[in-house]
């Protein structure tokens, strides 16, 4: 089955700085890579996703890059704000959609005001 | 629009006791998921329903776990008997169709003593 590794496990940045979270996956058939944000006491919420036919996708301060050859993908958050503080999960799916998603172990991001 | 509703939010039970979790998905969402989230880990799929049919229950420990979605709307996940290792957050999610974005509920935090 798919195995997704994520690092770092914790990340502290100053407000306004950038944050980068990296993930690797094992199944070369994986073709869909969502990122989720989970705030304390809440369920994960989809923030951005990328499919294997695209190398980069951007949505305001958030961007995701994908390197299929190396089987790794990354989340980039620019101009971080205190409300970005949360746990972020990467995930991978080989079904082309949301059906069966394998999650990484999470990164706890702390943005220091 | 109301999100995914789960109850109870917290449950503390002694080992060997039974416990049940309830989930009400977003109106119109025919696909429902139950996930297990251990502390410091990403969610792991337990079971997926398409309407009232369980289409993927390969990760559900069937010796003690059971689930039902009798009318294709609300769902119940049961553990009997509970073990210490079952302490975790149980998340419910729903989507419009199996390819739709998954919306997560806040989860039920189970503590087995």
Rounded distance, CA A30 to CA A27, Å?
6
Query: Given an 8 Å threshold on Cβ–Cβ distance, is B48 in contact with A100?
Result: yes
For range B99-110, the mean pLDDT = 92
Mutate to test the interface with A, among B23, B25, B36, B43 (most CBs of A within 10 A): B43
pLDDT band at B84 (very low <50, low <70, confident <90, very high): very high
Q: Of A43-57, A60-74, A89-103, give the lowest mean pLDDT range.
A: A89-103
pLDDT band at A7 (very low <50, low <70, confident <90, very high): very high
pLDDT band at A17 (very low <50, low <70, confident <90, very high): very high
Average pLDDT for chain B: 94
Q: Which bin fits A16, alpha (ψ -120 to 50), beta or left (φ > 0)?
A: left
Report B:62-81 residues touching A (Cβ under 8 A): none
The answer, for B96 touching chain A at a CB cutoff of 8 Å, is no
pLDDT band at B95 (very low <50, low <70, confident <90, very high): very high
The answer, for A98 touching chain B at a CB cutoff of 8 Å, is yes
Q: What is the pLDDT of residue A51?
A: 87
CA distances, B2 to each of B26, B91, B104, B108 (Å): 7, 16, 12, 18
């Amino acid at each position: 089955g798919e195995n997704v590794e994520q690092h770092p496990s914790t990340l502290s940045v100053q407000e306004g700085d950038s944050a980068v979270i990296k993930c690797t996956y094992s199944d070369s058939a994986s073709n869909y890579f969502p990122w989720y944000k989970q705030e304390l006491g809440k369920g994960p919420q989809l923030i951005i996703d990328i499919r294997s036919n695209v190398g980069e996708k951007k949505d305001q301060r958030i961007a995701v890059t994908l390197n299929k050859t190396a089987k790794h993908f990354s989340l980039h958050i620019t101009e971080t704000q205190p409300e970005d503080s949360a746990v972020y999960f990467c995930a991978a799916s080989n079904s082309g959609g949301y059906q069966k998603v394998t999650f990484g172990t999470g990164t706890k991001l702390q943005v220091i005001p | 629009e109301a999100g995914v509703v789960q109850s109870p939010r917290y449950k503390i039970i002694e080992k060997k006791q039974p416990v049940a979790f309830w989930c009400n998905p977003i109106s119109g969402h025919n696909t429902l998921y139950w996930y297990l989230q251990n502390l410091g880990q990403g969610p792991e799929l337990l079971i997926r329903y398409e309407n009232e049919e369980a289409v993927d229950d390969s990760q559900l420990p069937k010796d003690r776990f059971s689930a039902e979605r009798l009318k294709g709307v609300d769902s119940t996940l049961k553990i009997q008997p509970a073990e210490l290792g079952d302490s975790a957050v149980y998340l419910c999610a729903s989507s419009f169709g199996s390819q739709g974005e998954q919306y997560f509920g806040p989860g039920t935090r189970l503590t087995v003593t």
